[in-house]
A = this chain, B = another copy of it.
């Protein structure tokens, strides 16, 4: 889908010509010791080679040879509310973005805000995760790295997503429920204790701990930066 404009070729032509003409003129002068001949050859060369260089660029622009893309992957953060999924996922997203990579961020809360009627029963949760995973897999298939953060409490849905994707990396953000409740960044645990919310994962709804997560980050033990570095180290091999 990417192509190079004519102005890129023109600027590249000029940039190369300045460099190359200096070299040619110097060489002719060294061999002939005649400044006029050196300038004549340099000048004539500059004009006719610019034309050739430009068309050489345009021809190479059509060739796919040696143009590569990084193989994308789906990085899937799962864990309790308050474990630190979104914080870590946001930072990894920024990190990949800064590298100039094509990357999309999918967040449970953000997707639910587009589809506010999505419920919290086991079936609705699984359906929600499966559809988000299907979305992630299509992005991945089209060359986009996906950084997802969803509570995704059930193994069934997580396995479905793993199967949909080519390169699924499960990151289990582990923190004991009492640590998460103490943090309570969105005040949700408080609401659960006040009886305002039901079916809350970790309290009155189960969280099925991933048995074979690709990366486990214990945010009760590690700082944000340490957690981040652990994830970065694990995905390093996918970025070459």
Contact = CB atoms under 8 A, between A and B. Distances in A.
Interface string A110-134: 0100110100000000010011001
B130 A115 contact: yes
A32 B28 CA distance: 10
A107 to B, nearest CB: 12
B31 A37 contact: yes
Given A49-B20, A130-B115, A144-B142, A68 B27 contact: no
Contact of A67 (B8, B16, B102, B114): B8
A104 B1 CA distance: 12
A31 B40 contact: yes
Contacts of A19: 52, 56
Contact of A52 (B23, B53, B117): B23
A23 B1 contact: no
A7 B102 contact: no
Interface string A165-177: 0000000000000
A66 interface: yes
Contacts of A69: 1-3
